[in-house]
Structure formats: structure tokens, C-alpha cells
Amino acid sequence: MNYILKDENAVYYECGFSCDNEIFLKLENDAFFFTDARYLVEAKEFIKNAQVVLMDRRDPFKAVRECIRKSRIKSLVYNPAEWSVVEYDNLSSKLSINFKKSLNFSQKKRVIKSDLELDILRKAATLGANAFDNFAKYVCKNGLGLSEKRLFNEAENIFKNYGELELSFAPIVAFDENSAKPHALPSDKILKKDMLLLLDAGVKYKRYCSDRTRTANADENMVLDKNAKFKDALKQKVYDTVLRAQEASIKKARAGVKASQIDRAGREVIEKAGFGKYFIHSTGHGVGLDIHELPVIGARSKDVIEENMVFTIEPGIYLPNRFGVRIEDTVIAKSNRVEVIG
């Protein structure tokens, strides 16, 4: 297959290097990495199995078009989600070949993780879990009386290990009412004893992401595990329901099962407890070089789980203006179970 890539993670998967201005071109048995002079030295040092080609600053796609013309190919596959209209027109309007749309074909290509990728993802998960422990210790010692914004900043520092790691995404740190928003932005709300605290965060290790969510009762003994205890009866009921839902989905998940069945297993628990309308997102998503990859673990998903797919299981209940609970782990699919990596 002849194809062209622009997304950084998709390109990295192909050749071991990427940057914010690059094109990867695969033509039959040849591969080309196009970039500008700023990245040329590093590209030549790190690129695997591809020829590095310098871009023209005045027309970044000129060298790409010339390469395509010389190859005499008749068609080229591309992911329309990677290209702006201007970029696509600049490239395609001056070439008389057939451009074939294939949405997310790179993610489909890398949905089954290799043994090396799985080891890297396990390490990322371990580093992320350690950061959860360190954040909990910080909250126990210093957190009461601080705002979401302040603890958001502390979470960023802790998860980055003060410059040693990159984040999978901006952490979500939310208290009580704000935790009822699945992707809450940090506010000026102050953390007080026995408030509900939700933390959703992850780190990157060798570019691969971790992803985890924990919900806990904020006090001087807070631990971000799955054994949270709340003084408020409704919070405890909701928490226990979400935990049972996650356990049901984890029990259901394995190679050969439909992703929609994994979603159904947890959703039924939440519905039977009377909170069905408050579970407002899918049960999970793939994790790898991107924080959101394939498969989709949702009610409408057509995906079937295969061995060594990696994805999250993260049911939640969100009671508007009151609080929300989400519990999330990343798992690796095996033939008769999933391996929970954190």
C-alpha cells in the first residue's frame, strides 16, 4: 500500500522519529521522511528505514510532489483527519493521482501491540501509578485549603516528575460539584476535609501513554486506591456502584468479546442501581502512542477485542451540581482475561 502520513505519532510508529513539521511517504518498498532544516540533523540520526529529505521552506510540499511523480504510482492512501483543507489542496491539486481516504488507518494498523510496546505501556502505567501515590501524599500533607487550580499545578509537576516525564494529557483535578463534569477544568474551589476528590492523569514513557482515574475522600489519610470510604452515604453508594460496574466490565473483557459487550456489562450494573442516565460516556478507549486510540469500548462500537489490544475501562456516574465518580484502569486483552496494568 502506498500511503502518506502527517500525524506525529503515526509517523513515529513508522520510523522512530517525528517532529512538528514532517511528512512520511511510503511508496512500494521505499520510505521517505520530509522535514525542514531545523530537524534535519536529528532526523538523520534517529530515522529508521526511511530516507530523509529536506523540505523547501517556500513550498513544503514541493519535494513530496516531486517524489510522488518520480515513483509513477497511481494512488495514495491518506487519513483525512490529519490534513487541513489548505494542506490537502496544496498537495493534491498539483498531482494527477487518485487520493484514497482511509480514516485512522494508522491507528488500525497499530491496534495490536507488540511485546515491546506492551512492556513500554506497563512501565508507563507503573510510573503513572507511582505519581498517583505521590500526589495523594502531597494532598495529605499540604492539600487541604488549596484550590483546584493550585492542586492541578502540583499534579502537573508531580506527574512530570519535575521535568523527567511528559504528560499523556492535562490532569483532571476536581472536587465535589466540579467532579460531576467528566472533563472538568480546574476552578478556584478550595479543598476541604471530606470533600470528594477526582484525579484523572497519566504520563508518557518512550512516547507511550498511561491513563488512570481514582476518586477518593479528601482527608489527611487519603489514598488513591480503589477502596475509597466516604462519610456521605450517597457518595459511598455511587462509588460502590461504579466500582462494581468496573469489575463487571473487567470480568467480561477478553479476546473474542465485542467491545459493546464490555460496555454493556458495566452499564447494566449502573442502570440496575438507578443511575443509568448519569453514565454519560463510553466505557473506554484504546491507549498507545495516542491517549485515545482504537478500540472504542462503547455501546455502539463495532470493534471485537483481540489479544494484546490495550484499552481503558472507566465507568462513571455524574450527578449534576453534586459530585461525580469515575474509576479507570488500563488493561491488556488476553485470550481468557485482561491484565490490569493500572
DSSP 128-194: HHHHHHHHHHHIIIIITT-BHHHHHHHHHHHHTTTTTSEESS--EEEEGGGGGSTTPPP-SPBP-TT
Calculate mean pLDDT across residues 206-230. 97
pLDDT of residue 142: 95
Residue 93 has pLDDT above 90, yes or no: no
Written as nine digits, the cell of 198 is: 477526582
pLDDT of residue 70: 93
| Pairwise CA distance, residues 129 & 211, whole Å | 9
Q: Which residues contact 114 (CB under 8 A, 6 or more apart)?
A: 308
pTM, rounded to two decimals: 0.95
Helix (H, G, I), strand (E, B) or coil at 275: coil
**Strand pairing category for 75-78 and 98-101:** parallel
Report residue 60's pLDDT band, with 50, 70 and 90 as the boundaries. Answer: confident
pLDDT in tens, 254-309: 999 999 999 999 999 999 999 999 999 999 999 999 999 999 999 999 999 999 99
pLDDT in tens, 303-335: 999 999 999 999 999 999 999 999 999 999 999
Q: How many CB atoms sit inside 10 A of residue 306's CB?
A: 14
Q: Please list the residues that pair with 204 across neighbouring strands.
A: 166, 209
Residue 32 has pLDDT above 90, yes or no: yes
DSSP E strand stretches across the chain:
3-5, 22-27, 30-35, 51-54, 75-78, 98-101, 166-167, 172-175, 196-201, 203-205, 208-209, 212-217, 284-286, 293-297, 310-313, 316-319, 323-326, 329-333, 338-340
Report residue 94's pLDDT band, with 50, 70 and 90 as the boundaries. Answer: confident
User: What is the percent of the chain with per-residue pLDDT over 90, rounded to a whole number?
Assistant: 96
pLDDT of residue 239: 98
pLDDT of residue 262: 98
Helix (H, G, I), strand (E, B) or coil at 108: helix
pLDDT in tens, 146-192: 999 999 999 999 999 989 999 999 999 999 999 999 999 999 999 99
Residue 57 has pLDDT above 90, yes or no: no
